[in-house]
Amino acid sequence: MEGKYYMIQDHLIFIGVFAVFFFLTVGIYLFAQNKKLRQKNEKLIENYKLIEQQLNEVQLEHIGTKLNPHLFKNILNSVQSHAYQTYMSLDKLANVLDYILYESNNKFVSPKEELNFALSLIEINKIKINPLFDFRIKSRIDKSDAIYEEKVFAPLISVDLIENAFKHTDFLAQDSFISIQIEFEDRVFTMKVSNKASLKNVLEKEKSGFGSQSLDQRLKMIYNSHYELTKNSKNGIFTAELKINLGEFYDKMRYS
């Protein structure tokens, strides 16, 4: 009887040792698996961050290709050329960059937003002009217009006309000038830009055509019959006038 008791006791000890060994083995295995899972998780997080960074870079590159690639360069050169106006320039530059990076992703913005952007862009470009240069700007904006703050304006439409005027003007010539007129009245937006270009720019424009073909295509795709874009040159003076009947376009959007 006593021998049987010791056999049972030995059996229980064996089971206890086996159980401890088993759970210890399982614990080590689970610990190792948990460590592997943590490593995989960390690797996935690193890959996710890398993909997110690459996506952000692609989005920024897309913005850069969607816009005029020389726009930022021209703006920064303007700011650099006159350090004494840095504060004003950076303030305007901040407004322009905010608009380009955020508002330009929208299909439409308000006339108020686009007009503020256009005026800021003009002010930045003016920095590189000699104070004695013949620069004329006139704006007439009816802020009480019913669609002044409605989303009817394709963003960055005004960039090409402004940039072309500053790009193709010979600022050293005695009779050079830039004239910009901006109007928004009776739900109609009008921008008229004129400038006297150098002989070199005249020859280049005669070969390549005046203005941006992409602007023409964009206007036609968006506004169809609700806009007019005219361009002409005479005696080295280039003039481009854009008129968009935003009121008619707005009515069409509302009732279509």
User: In CATH, what number is assigned to the domain containing residue 132?
Assistant: 3.30.565.10
Q: Is pLDDT of 153 > 90? A: yes
Strand partners, 194: 179, 239
Which of 238, 144, 141, 256 is closest to 196 using CA atoms?
238
Strand partners, 36: none
Model confidence pLDDT, tens digit, residues 71-118: 666 766 666 665 556 666 667 777 788 888 777 788 899 999 999 999
**Contact status, residue 149 vs residue 110, Cβ threshold 8 Å:** yes
**Contact status, residue 124 vs residue 75, Cβ threshold 8 Å:** yes
Q: How far apart are CA 116 and CA 121, in angstroms?
A: 9
**Contact status, residue 162 vs residue 71, Cβ threshold 8 Å:** no
Residues 8 and 97 in one domain: no
Average pLDDT over residues 51-68: 55
DSSP category for residue 181 = E
Picking from 40, 66, 92, the residue at the C-terminal end of a domain is 66
Picking from 66, 81, 116, the residue at the C-terminal end of a domain is 66
Range of the domain at 53: 1-66
Residues 129 and 35 in one domain: no
Task: Using a pLDDT cut of 70, give the percent of the chain over it.
Answer: 61
Sequence length of the chain is 256
Structure tokens at 200: 């070199």
pTM recorded for the entire structure: 0.64
Average pLDDT over residues 33-43: 66
Residues 140 and 202 in one domain: yes
What's the domain count of the chain? 2
Matching residue, tokens 């008791």: 5
Residues 94 and 220 in one domain: yes
Q: Is pLDDT of 160 > 50? A: yes
Residues 109 and 7 in one domain: no
Residues 127 and 197 in one domain: yes
Residues 47 and 82 in one domain: no
